[in-house]
Amino acid sequence: MPVQKPSAIRRVIVLLKDHKLAAAFLLVLITIAQGANIGVPFIIKVLIDALTNFLKVGGALPWNVLIYSGIGMLAATVVGSAIQSSYNYHLFKLVTTVEDRLRHAAFEKYLQLHTLFHHGSSSGQIIGRIERGGTSAYVILNDIVGQNLLPPLIIFIGSFAALLYQNVWIALAILVPFPIYFFATQHLSNRIYLIEQRANDAFENVSKEMYDVAGNVLTVKKFSQEKAEAEHKKGLLAAAREIQYSAERLWGVIENVQAAIATVGRVAVLGLSAWFVFNGTATIGDFVLFITLQNMAYQPLSQLSIIFPRLRRNATRVERMFAILDEPVRVTDKKNAPSLPPLKRQIAFRNVSFGYRDREPALKNINLIIPAGKTFALVGRSGSGKTTFINLLLRSFDPQKGRILIDGVDIRDVTQESLRRQIAVVPQEVDLFSRTVAQNIAYGRPTVTQAQIENAARTALAHDFIMKLEHGYDTVVGERGIKLSGGERQRVGIARAVLRDPRILILDEATSHLDTESERLITEATNALIQNRTSIVIAHRLSTILNADTIVVFKNNEIEATGSHKELLKKSPTYRRLYELQFSRRR
């Protein structure tokens, strides 16, 4: 039986457990501030009774009562206001600390999650969840609990306790409407919660679409789809709003129920208070005190129509962020795992099999030994398992069967950081951050010097074009390196790999879509990079890997054959077919 998770609201409040002293200090502050506010009606009661008695029996004007009442109200108001301001500041400071920690934890968890999670999710949607979830956590703790729930609740408890002391019947008349209100609105609140879940799904879809279009804005412009995409987004937003409006209509019903019940309670207290005055069991000052305390006690009820919609809406958003935090990390280091020693002898795949969730195996029974210092090329049709092979070596996920060994050490027995420290990857499409050229080259190596960065760029034949940029190495390359050409991005990626100085180099050959000059430069840079390294090349054109030490042919997620170019032409039908298809085009 699955364990039921605590509610999102409870989980948000539990975040304060590491700040118990600060929370206790805030509770003391707000209790004192609200106590000062509750004290004001009692001062007014004394003043009214003194004035009523003066008007009734005459005599000297009660100056002492007037002066002390004025001083008392002024002091209570000033003290209450000062403490309330201090409470607001410290509450804001505490809540923003919790919010920042929650955002950081969610983003850190997102980065740690396995590759399959990232393949199956939209980055825009996930970042939107984290942003909305963090904001909603702030709203729950600061606006709802800290400002609109806790202070009125203290006022209610204080007012009810004062009325209970003054007159039990008035206190009971105030208390009766609350259970009726909660009973009447519980069913509607549950319906609204389900609608808010649908609304959040719809708004997340809007965010996902906006991120997707923003990331492909140049494609949008090439096809003149600016208006169409804007209208599509407008339609999605309108559909999301329509769902949200249905929840707001239900909140309107709850608000009317709350207003009716509160009015009945007020009328009951007013009637009872007047009856006690007419019977001589209460004074005019008591009457004013009862009405004032009743209004203060009903303040939480009047806030419920505001608090509940916001609480439900923000709770559903926070739940989505907690879903990221609750996502299991499938690839983890063993406890006290050692670092992987530098590669010296070989990489070995021993009977390795792997499948993506419920799909057919992406790799089956892979057995391969890659000696250190050799260049191995992986060839095969799209979907034959080459990329999965690389991801398993990087430990993006673990095989369901078999082992991957480096110098006899299972890569699952060492830290992921020490494994990847020995590997550099130059993908087919180099991913660059919207940072400077130097920062992109030095990514993952924060302590390198400018001279080391420039030497790596020279090896990658990138230094000359970098120096021609507006700010040289300090030029910001734009989102995904949009300010650079494809060949320039590729050379920055090679420079990054050079600077990493890896024992194992993984190259996803990417010259097929480049012009002749860029291809020549990248080929030269690549040849310099693979010298004296264990290199694994995913080949898209056979002409680039004819001189590899060993070529590995994948077919139907298995290794069909291994060998040199000449050997494979004789024993591998797949390789022979690929060779004939590619080289026949040149004839």
557-573: pLDDT as tens digits: 899 999 988 888 888 89
Please check the confidence at residue 1 and state whether its pLDDT lies above 60: no
| 32-41, 90-99, 209-218: which is most confident | 90-99
Q: Which helix (H) or strand (E) holds 238?
A: helix 226-278
Same domain, 355 and 393: yes
Same domain, 312 and 402: no
Same domain, 393 and 426: yes
Residue 564 falls inside a structural domain: no
Written as one letter, the residue type at 61 is L
pLDDT score recorded for residue 419: 92
Residue 489 falls inside a structural domain: yes
Residue 167 falls inside a structural domain: yes
Going by pLDDT thresholds of 50, 70 and 90, the confidence category of residue 513 is low
Same domain, 172 and 257: yes
Tally of structural domains, the chain: 2
Same domain, 392 and 276: no
pLDDT score recorded for residue 351: 94
Same domain, 310 and 358: no
Contact status, residue 293 vs residue 163, Cβ threshold 8 Å: yes
CATH number at residue 243: 1.20.1560.10
Same domain, 412 and 462: yes
Q: Let me know how many helices (H) and strands (E) the chain has, helices first.
A: 21, 10
Residues spanned by the domain of 216: 9-326
Alpha helices in 58-122 (DSSP H): 63-112, 115-119
Same domain, 317 and 351: no
In the DSSP assignment, the letter for residue 506 is: E
Same domain, 320 and 362: no
Instruction: Quote the strand ranges of 467-547, DSSP E.
Output: 504-508, 534-538
Residue 465 falls inside a structural domain: yes
pLDDT score recorded for residue 429: 80
Q: Give percent above pLDDT 90 in the chain.
A: 16
Residue 539 falls inside a structural domain: yes
Residue 371 falls inside a structural domain: yes
Same domain, 108 and 195: yes
Same domain, 368 and 294: no
Choice among 212-216, 268-272, 330-334, 456-460 with the minimum mean pLDDT:
212-216
Residue 177 falls inside a structural domain: yes
pLDDT score recorded for residue 2: 43
Q: Which helix (H) or strand (E) holds 410?
A: strand 409-410
Separation between Cα atoms, residue 145 and residue 561, nearest integer Å: 66
Closest CA to 249 of 183, 192, 201: 192
Please check the confidence at residue 347 and state whether its pLDDT lies above 70: yes
Per-residue model confidence as pLDDT tens digits over 14-49: 888 888 899 899 989 988 988 888 888 888 888 887
Same domain, 400 and 465: yes
CATH number at residue 436: 3.40.50.300
Choice among 336-350, 355-369, 381-395 with the minimum mean pLDDT:
355-369
Please check the confidence at residue 242 and state whether its pLDDT lies above 80: yes
Q: CB burial class (10 A; 0-12, 13-18, 19+) of residue 475?
A: middle
Residue 579 falls inside a structural domain: no
pLDDT score recorded for residue 253: 77
